[in-house]
Chain A
Amino acid sequence: MSRFFYRGGSDSESSSSDEEEDVYQRSEEEEESDEESSEQSDSGSDDSDDSDDEAIAKGGAAAFLKDDSESEEEEEEEKVTVVKSAKDKRLEGLENTIKLIENAQKINDWSVISTEFDNLNRQIVKITQSGPVPKVYVQAVADLEDFVNESVSKQKAANKKMNASQQKGFNAVKQRIKKNNKDYAAQIDKYRADKDAYMESDEEVEKPLPAAPKPTKVEKIENFAAAAAAAAAEDEEFTTVGRGGKTLQYTPESILKHLRVIVESRGKKNTDRLDQIKTMEKLLAVATSPYQRIRVYLTLISTRFDLTSSSANYMSPEQWKSADKEFGSLLSVLEENRNLIVSEGADEWEDDEKQPSIAEGETFYIPGSIVSYIERLDDELTRSLQQIDPHTAEYIERLSDEQQLYNNIVRAQLYVESQNAGEKNDTRQDSVNRVIIRRLEHVYFKPSQVVSILEDATWKALPEKLDSSVTSRKNASDVTNLIQTLCHYLFQNSDGIIRARSMLCQIYFLALHDQYYRSRDLMLMSHLSENISNFDVSTQILFNRTLVQIGLCAFRAGLIYEAQNTLGDICGSGRQKELLAQGIILQRYSTVSPEQERLERQRQLPFHMHINLELLECIYLTSSMFLEVPLMAQTSSAPEMRRRMISKTFRRMLDYNERQVFTGPPENTRDGVIMSAKFLAAGDWKKAASMLSSIKIWDLMPQPEKVKEMLAAQTQEEGLRTYLFTYAPFYDSLSVSSLADMFELPVKKIAAIISRMISHEELAAALDQVNDAIIFRKGVELSRLQSQIVTLADKSMGLLESNEKTLEQRTQGMANAFQREQGPGARGGRGGRGGGGQGRGGARIPGGQHGRRPGGQQFGGGALGGAIKA
């Protein structure tokens, strides 16, 4: 039983109380300080920062901890009375496990071997963290491998099957042991070469200094040799060494080594990144040459990014801010040292011992990517904005960081630009494009006043001597020009998604600034609407946003038809939220997997970029109203046109409103528009206009008064049209001047509207100039009987066609077969009049679809049809 305890005990201890263990371990180390120095874990560097605390806590804490652990253990397990160091305990656990394996080998119990082997490896990870690989372990794995090989050959020879669980365990071990043993190949070879000698040397090696360190760990140990020496020195004379101890530990020479250690631990478990960050901050203080500083900054920033590995979470603001600041200082170092260039494809500097010597005028490349850093910073800010509740002060606070970020984006742009100016190549051009599109995406959706504030602050923050070749400093105040230049640069130098995005950004910006025609023309010329489905989702979202913005712009300009048309695609779908990435609709019976939902959440725009959905809906409904109400009035008398519909959403809402028994005063925007539509339909334009202008949401538009005026004018005009459509059947003539009084429009305007309606054949009427009146022509509209006849004719056409189709199917389209079947066909459905039609139809049908039409038209084209058309 005890072995289980040990194993469990050491496990839990190491994982649950890392902190405690550290100190504990340290107290052990002090006893055998020279040996232990090599065995300090990565966290050994910890020493430095809390060296002050350490000095105080040294004696006491160790003693205390010893007591503590002792008492704990006594409580837990009576058996253990001897205090052992954590390391010893682990070793003991290891030995127990090995023993188990050996026992299991004897009885060929592979399932036990398999589980114990797993245990063994888990333990060895812990042990190697704090020291060299124990010899016993090497021995065990080497033996195990031999045993496995032996068993394989045995199995082949005997051709005997193991039972299922055994076989499974055996296979598992077979596979893993090979992989595992590769790591220890050197030691295993040594062991195999001379088993006894190896095991003996074991004892010796473990005791003295790690003068002959294990080959795989060479680097690590070397790295820490300096640190350990420093620590040792510190231990001896801790009363006198203050800050000097640090400078001793982190010398400019050792910076690269420290960095390498950190880089190598990247992506591994159980590395304390916060700790590494602290180390690097100290390294930064001692770094002397620009090269060192650049290297430290590069590693430091990436480590900060590594802190938040899970994609669901966002980087803490503090970390973000320091990363942002460090990025800024990295750029300033780079700006001062133009011969040092950070580039993606550079070779790594292999030699940690010495610094690269850079001759004057020579450029030296350091691996890294400025663009990726700035992109990551940008993404992290967006991510945090996505997750913070937009109605809190926190959001605003976070948003204010955008200025900082924007500064750095511009600065990074200047940097990559200057590199690109020196020597052009594709990757550099690509990085310039990437930075510029980032910059563009921070400004395109903002009103120009806001952007100019942002720009001014940025140029103030940047060092005087920097200037951009693409967007020069003196043009910074002209925002329209800025956007234009940025977009033009991207049109010329990029392709694919970036190009499409830059186009969309420009169009969006133009639409936002009331340049409807330009934005529309650009949208049409870009031909994006044809191939937008080939782009990625976020570009599609941008496309939708741009489309909506153009629609809003058209509405502000009073172009109702265009606005309705443009907005129809997005708003008519009822999925505005989703299409604009401004919220997730949770469908009740959705089949969305968590994965998809997560992606969806990632795509959401931060709140400050949103387009007001309520305003959008209101505008869409209002423009639909201006088009639909006259149309409904027009089609109410002509049933064959009833199917025409401009906005389904609007119709549905109107229907819903009409079905209600009692309708109260409008409570929300939607109700307001619908009410107004009802007044308009009744010809009461004044009430419609006042209802419409009482909707509060117009105040959110840039110039609410102008919009309301436009709406009132539209209401007058459409009211007149609706009135004429609705009441035309009841009038013989109508005085133009009385209409002018009624709608408070000038006579000329009324005449123009009526003329247009007459000319487009919407209204069967004519103007009488002498009497200043409209004369309505009678008998043009279909009577009830006539319209029903038309419907009948349509239906019989349908019947005829389907009948013929069936026939064709039966006879498999064979012409002569059809001829034979003709008789029964005529007898069946159509008698009398149909017979005549059929004679002709029959002759033509073999000619195909085309021939059928004239035969069909006979129904509508008779004497009655002529009368209708007249």
Chain B
Amino acid sequence: MADNAPPSAEKLSGAQPTDITPEYDLLPRLIPYLDRHLVFPLLEFSAGEDDKEITRAKYELLKHTNMTDYVANLWKEINNTDSIPDEFVKKREEVLAKLEHYQVQSEKITELLQDEEVVGNLRSDKAANLRFLEEQHGVTNDMVNSLYDYGRFQYSCGSYGNAAELLYQFRVLSTDNDKVASATWGKLASEILTTNWEGAMEEVQKAKDSIETRLFNNPLAQLTNRSWLIHWSLFPFFNHDPARDVLTDLFFSPAYINTIQTSCPWILRYLAAAVITNRGRPHKHHGAYQKQLKDLIRVVRQEGYEYTDPITDFIKALYVDFDFEEAQRKLSEAEEVLRSDFFLVSAADAFVEAARHLISESYCKIHQRIDIK
């Protein structure tokens, strides 16, 4: 499930839309860290100018999934025909057959789990649950695993709601840690795609815990897992208001800020945008915002040699060089970038507003008399 580097990623980065600020487009950088299905909305968003290319990209992206109907449609669009080649028909049949197969396989256990009585008997101890189910209802480990496979298949077909449900059930029962972790990722993706942000936040928390505990002595895996998590959580970050604070804190926590610095400095754009737009929000205590800002300045400054875009430039101009004219200029650039960014488009106005506040705040702090003209 956590197969985050689709083989077509390379090809995709070649097929970029010509953006207003193409050099600041992060899509090619983000794609390797995202799941196939998560990339889709991003591509959808950038569809606008060059439809043909995007459609081709979408086709490449989804070719390996089981969303056969949609892929066939895309194919028709690309080739401008109405006929569907046989392979799609065949694949569709295969998929349906498989669906059937999985359904049958997991029928019993899904039924059981819908039974109120059975569910009522479940405890928090997974091993005990399994034993109970095995003794009382003849549930085997294979059956539990079939839940996982079925969930995975559903996800691949694009029915994310079902997938989330199945994976949830699987996770309750399974004792296989690797699969549970993988199911967590799957569920997170499903929740994101069904825009169930609260569920997604729960999953983010779970995934984070599992990274800390399960991969405790494998720093490299921790690093990659954390960078995935950071990228995935961008979805709730800018779409779900309550998530903002939690995620800002998460990103600023030592382990994650290190991850950002080492493997994906472009996340700084989102972090900067988040911190700046957070300005107007009520804070638990006053110092928190100042501290976030200070941390942000420090990191932006440190990573200046590795990553810059108008947003980090803005921070730098305002807080490192104290060059207000430059900051103004960068702000207008930043606005454009924000408007063409999938995640930040909704936050663009708030960002500009907050950034202007910050400029005047710091300007007034330094100046005694200002020439208003």
Residues on A facing B (Cβ under 8 Å):
517, 521, 525, 748, 751-752, 755-756, 758-759, 766-771, 775
Contacts and interface: CB of A to CB of B under 8 A. Distances in A.
Interface string B249-269: 000000000000010000000
A768 B365 contact: no
Helix, strand, loop or mixed for chain A's interface? helix
Contacts, number: 39
Given A517-B306, A769-B371, A758 B365 contact: yes
A420 B370 CA distance: 74
Interface in B293-317: 305-306
The 4 closest A-B pairs by CB, nearest first: A755-B322, A766-B368, A768-B369, A767-B367
Contacts of A767: 366-368
Which of B320, B323, B367, B368 has the most chain A CB atoms inside 10 A of its CB?
Answer: B368
B182 to A, nearest CB: 26
A650 to B, nearest CB: 26
Nearest to B370: A769
Contact of A756 (B322, B367, B370, B371): B322
A752 B316 CA distance: 12
Contacts of A758: 365-366
A22 B367 CA distance: 102
Which of B305, B306, B367 has the most chain A CB atoms inside 10 A of its CB?
Answer: B367
B369 A771 contact: yes
Contacts of B322: 751-752, 755-756, 759
Given A521-B262, A751-B322, A752-B321, A770 B369 contact: yes
B228 to A, nearest CB: 19
A132 to B, nearest CB: 67
A279 B262 CA distance: 62
B290 interface: no
Contacts of B323: 748, 752
B332 interface: no
Given A517-B305, A748-B323, A752-B321, A759 B368 contact: no
11 contacts: A517-B305, A752-B322, A755-B322, A759-B322, A759-B365, A769-B369, A769-B370, A769-B371, A770-B369, A770-B370, A775-B368
B362 interface: yes
Q: For chain B, which range describes its interface: under 10, 10 to 19, 20 to 34, or 35 or more residues?
A: 10 to 19
Given A748-B323, A752-B321, A766 B262 contact: no
Contact of B366 (A517, A755, A770, A771): A755
Given A755-B366, A766-B367, 10 more contacts: A521-B262, A525-B262, A752-B322, A755-B322, A756-B321, A759-B362, A759-B365, A767-B367, A768-B368, A775-B368
A525 B220 CA distance: 11
Nearest to B367: A767
Interface of B: 262, 305-306, 319-323, 362, 365-371
Contacts of A517: 305-306
B256 to A, nearest CB: 16
Contacts of B370: 769-770
Contacts of B368: 766-768, 775
B224 to A, nearest CB: 14
Contacts of B320: 756
A852 B323 CA distance: 46
A488 to B, nearest CB: 14
B293 to A, nearest CB: 12
Nearest to B306: A517
A752 B366 CA distance: 10
Nearest to B262: A525
A374 B365 CA distance: 68
A219 B365 CA distance: 98
Contacts of A521: 262
A770 B362 contact: no
Given A517-B305, A525-B262, A752-B322, A770 B365 contact: no
A756 B319 CA distance: 8
A740 to B, nearest CB: 16
Nearest to A768: B369
Nearest to A772: B371
Contacts of B367: 766-769
A241 B305 CA distance: 81
Contacts of A775: 368
Contacts of A759: 319, 322, 362, 365-366
Nearest to B305: A517
A458 to B, nearest CB: 34
Contacts of B319: 759
Contacts of A756: 320-322
B307 to A, nearest CB: 12
B257 to A, nearest CB: 13
Given A525-B262, A752-B323, A770 B306 contact: no
Nearest to B365: A759
A571 B64 CA distance: 60
A750 to B, nearest CB: 11
A759 B369 CA distance: 16
Contacts of A771: 369
A575 B336 CA distance: 55
B258 to A, nearest CB: 9
Nearest to A777: B368
A767 B362 CA distance: 12
Contacts of A766: 366-368
B68 to A, nearest CB: 41
A773 to B, nearest CB: 9
Contacts of B305: 517
Nearest to A733: B368
A425 B323 CA distance: 61
